Structure 1
Amino acid sequence: MLTSHNLSKAIDDLVQSAFTPNEPGVAVIVTQAGEVIHRKGYGIANLELGVTIEPDMVFRLGSISKQFTAVAVLMLMEQGKLDLDDPITKFLPNYPTHDYLITIEHLLTHTNGIQNYTAMPQMHSLQRKDFTVEELIDFFKYQPMQFAPGKRWFYTNSGYFLLGAIIETISGLTYEQFVQQNIFDTLEMKQSCYDMPQRIIPRRACGYQKGTDGYLNAEYMSMTIPYAAGSLASTVDDLAKWDAALYTAKLVSQETLRRAFTTTRLVNCNYGYGWFITNYQGHQIVEHDGGIDGFAAHAIRMPNERIFVAVLSNNQHKERLLEPLIVKIATHTIGKPYQEPPTIQVSSELLASYEGVYRFHDGAEITVTCQNNILFSRNEGCPPLEYFPVSPTEFVFKSNSFYQYRFISNAQGMVTGVELRYRLDPPEVANKIANAVPELV
């Protein structure tokens, strides 16, 4: 095990390898049993003013907000105001369930089958619009169900939006008021809030995305849209307070939290209530990532070792780098550094056999092509991504080895599909629908 000084230096080196000083960057904190091992800001908080990031600055959390929503629901459960098996129509009587039983637990665990409103094509053109809670529920509630509740796992922001509405119905407070009064104020998380662009929030970092000629200010988004699925903002210091509180009964009992940190009963599902539950060499990891216009975030807790790591970034362009960065930091902290899988050489003929168009069950397509003996993959409307082989059939994303493709062949050796593996999600198969593809540019 490294000494605290050497560990902090190793963490510093990891972060500096991912973020340069002259671009939007990241705030980082690492604690063990409440002791701060590393706390530092990297890069620029405001490019126009040249203000550098400091670790007490405020960042949007994106989907890390879901764990606060989940605990808010569990607080109401412990108060006897709801049961996780309650149908959502008990609190939202006008919600059309399409003759299915949808429970609060289905919403918490992403097993509800409701369409993800943020993935609906119309949503992007509406992101400047301020919605009431009822208006946005109306926007997605009549969409067809993706599957029967409880039969599959599929990440959807719609479930957590509905949980916010249920919290409001039961408590008589807005979602913002409930979280502020019952969580942030209780834990003295003084720099945490429901983020609103119009509000003056001291020490708030500006969000950036990458354009063809460099960094741009992030597109405006009404924070009425992410709501209980991703509207909160905080600092790494306040998130460390949040983590410390989860070892106590300040908000809910440890017995209830154990339920939150237990994966759903579905096969290949590693989600609890507002957290992903993963494992690294026998060490349990409880975590969540977050991405929202201009910002990216990830937080990991290793409860058996009492380790907490949070990385909050105002650089949306670096979102794919946050997960490998935080995993490397956490595994360094326990003395078992993560090792990238070694790459191998694969023949150009084999690479060519993987070229084609592949379609997932939801209709999304990816295009795979080979250029200069390198495999590239592209989603519609996105730039091509470079992949490297770690076996004749398995490839990892150049910047994040947790994104993996495994190509599938039939008995005759013809490539029929590709399985997308991502560390936090169940595997998903896309069937090959075409062989010929245009060059990716």
Structure 2
Amino acid sequence: MIKKILLGILAILIFSCEAKKKGHSDAFIKTQNELTKKLTALSKKTCLNGFGVALVNDKEILYQNGFGIANVEKGEEYTENTIQNIASVSKTFIGISILKAQELGKLKLDDPINKYLPFKIENPKYKNSQITIRQLVTHTSSIIDNEEYMHRAWVLNDTIDLEKNLKIDIGVCKFSAPATAVSMEDFLKNVLTQNGKWFKPNTFSDHKPGDIYEYSNMGATLAALVLEKATGEKFDAFTVKYILKPLKMESTGWGLGSIDIKKHSRLYSDKKTAYPFYKCVTYPDGSIITSSSDMSNYIFELMKGYVGKGTLLSKSSYKEYFKPQLKAENFINRNTDIYSDEYNTGINMGFSSAGNFGHYGGDPGISSGIWFTPKSKTGRYFITNTDWDEKVRVKNQIAIYGLLDEYLAKLNKLSKAEK
């Protein structure tokens, strides 16, 4: 216990010294330390084993840290450098990548996808309406996440306790055995083409492509495959070249094979029960593995991109990325909650009815979110390694998000003047 207290004090001192080196005021450093202490105390009271956070404005990274436990069995702490997958927040990387490919002259948003694919994909109910790349990245392609996706996409990483692990309840989805894994391309071909062995009539909705917003993991993944065919580069390699390396996201990769699994947080269904390691065949839709430290670099870049100072894309591309793409008639049951990311959509970037934007994600043992407020030019990142306990979910979320929002406002006000 004494050792843990000393390590905690040391971490705060190091954090304070680093902030001081960057020219922050004593008030700024004091506010960072206050947030660390309050989140540390809160981490001991929530239903979560561990979580990570990052706060930014358009000028700098204001705060990044991790709290709680990454591995209960080993007693490993969750820090800003702990890595784990971040679920559907990964889709924002698809949007950036598609626009980068457009800048490189490899594709255009309004191109039909069959211009690039080696097999034909169409909604059989609308054979004269071609699906476009823009429709894939705005969830209007009419592609549905049916049971074939739900039951085949999540694959266990190994065969340890296989019979037991295959029976784990993960909601509407199921874990599959490692032997069932196929490539992303083969999966999409078999599910989405009419001659595919897993094709079913409900693979596509009754709506014409481009008409109605229907959130689609398979549609997002198909956009990544189109990028591969258009550029001649694998999607993961493309993102490394054009996103991860430029932003110095050195602890980030796609899937368990791209990282040191020993550094990966365990994921939990509750505070005691760990999920087995798993991967996703449709990896671009939710399988980037990263740390809070690396994600602070990413959301800082997005905030800068929004105000016209980004480095990954041109100003015009970022304008497209953050532009609400749809109209009221594109929605059947429009989510008007001010915190929802499904009131409108940019290029794989969601908007709320209040005009804020970001993306949420959720997978077994994971809840994630990036969220930006244009008025204050600030953004925050939050990731958990434990499923929320529904009995205390709202209480825990209000406590954590309330602290993050309170201190984001304080740190933003104390932030360095623009150089």
User: Scaled by the length of structure 1, what TM-score is found?
Assistant: 0.67
Pairing partner for 1:90 from 90, 115, 120: 115
CA-to-aligned-CA distance 1:115-162 (integer Å, 9 cap, x gap): 115774533253643221222113421333212112211111011110
Q: Which has the higher helix share?
A: 2
The two structures have a TM-score, normalised by structure 2, of 0.70
Alpha-carbon spacing, 1:151–1:8, altered in 2? closer, same or farther (3 Å): farther
CA gap of 1:306–1:200, structure 2 versus 1, over 3 A, is: same
Q: 1:117 to 1:333 in 2, by over 3 A?
A: farther
The answer to whether 1:305 aligns with 2:372 is no
Matched, 1:228 2:289: no
| Inter-partner Cα distance in structure 1 for 2:176 and 2:190 | 11
- Mapped to 1, the partners of 2:214 and 2:151 lie a distance apart of 20
For 1:176, give the aligned amino acid.
D
Instruction: State the shift of 1:190 in Å.
Output: 0.8
Cα deviation, 1:218-252, whole Å, max 9, x if unaligned, reads 144233x2311111011122112112323234221
Matches of 1:86 and 1:109, distance apart in 2: 14
Q: Which residue of 2 aligns with 1:317?
A: 388
Equivalent in the alignment of 1:217: 274
- Where 2:370 maps in the other structure, the secondary structure is strand
Q: Is the 8 A contact 2:299 2:381 kept in 1?
A: no
SS in 1 for 2:256: coil
Equivalent residue number for residue 104 of structure 1: 133
Alignment of 1:62-73 (within 5 A): 62-73=87-98
Give secondary structure in 2 for the equivalent of 1:216: coil
Going from structure 1 to structure 2, the CA distance change for 1:217 and 1:286 (only over 3 Å counts) comes to same
| Secondary structure of residue in 1 paired with 2:143 | coil
Per-residue CA shift, 1:355-382, capped at 9, x if unaligned? xxxxxxxxxxxxxxxxxxxxxxxxxxxx
Q: 2:94 corresponds to which letter in structure 1? A: T
Q: Distance in 1 between matches of 2:115 and 2:377?
A: 38
1:357-436 matches, cutoff 5 A? none
Q: Distance in 2 between matches of 1:286 and 1:196?
A: 29
Residue 252 (structure 2) pairs with residue 192 (structure 1): yes
Aligned-pair CA distance for 1:294: 2.2
Aligned partners of 2:261, 2:59: CA distance in 1, in Å?
27
| 1:250 equivalent among 304, 307, 311 | 311
Which residue identity lines up with residue 278 of structure 2 in the other structure? M
Secondary structure of 1:317 counterpart? coil
In structure 2, what is the Cα distance between the partners aligned to 1:152 and 1:323?
31
Q: Do structure 1's residue 148 and structure 2's residue 208 form an aligned pair? A: yes
Judge conservation of contact 2:356–2:371 (CA < 8 Å) in 1: yes
Compute the displacement of 1:75 (Å): 0.4
Match of residue 272 from structure 1? 346
Matched, 1:47 2:103: no
Amino acid in the other structure paired with 1:114: I
Q: What's 1:292 paired with?
A: 363
Size of the alignment, in residue pairs? Answer: 327
Q: Distance in 2 between matches of 1:241 and 1:326?
A: 21
* Identical counterparts, % of pairs: 22
Please, which runs of 5 or more residues in structure 2 have no aligned partner?
1-26, 153-173, 193-198, 329-333, 335-342, 411-419
Distance in 2 of aligned mates of 1:323 and 1:156: 26
Query: Would you say the 8 A contact 1:19–1:25 is kept in 2?
Result: no
Q: Counterpart of 1:229 in structure 2: which amino acid? A: D
CA–CA separation in structure 1 for the residues paired with 2:284 and 2:106: 19
Aligned CA distance change for structure 1 residues 126 and 22 (closer, same or farther; 3 Å): closer
Task: Give the C-alpha shift of residue 43 in structure 1.
Answer: 1.2
Listed as ranges, the matches of 1:157-172 within 5 Å are: 157-172=217-232
Q: Note the aligned Cα RMSD (angstroms).
A: 2.9
Give the stretch that moved more between structures: 12-21 or 134-143. Answer: 12-21
8 Å Cα contact 1:62-1:232 kept in structure 2 = yes
Cα distance in 1, alignment partners of residues 36 and 267 from structure 2: 24
Distance in 1, Cα, partners of 2:81 & 2:258: 21
1:287 aligned counterpart, secondary structure: strand
How far, CA to CA, are the matches of 1:47 and 1:191 in structure 2? Answer: 22
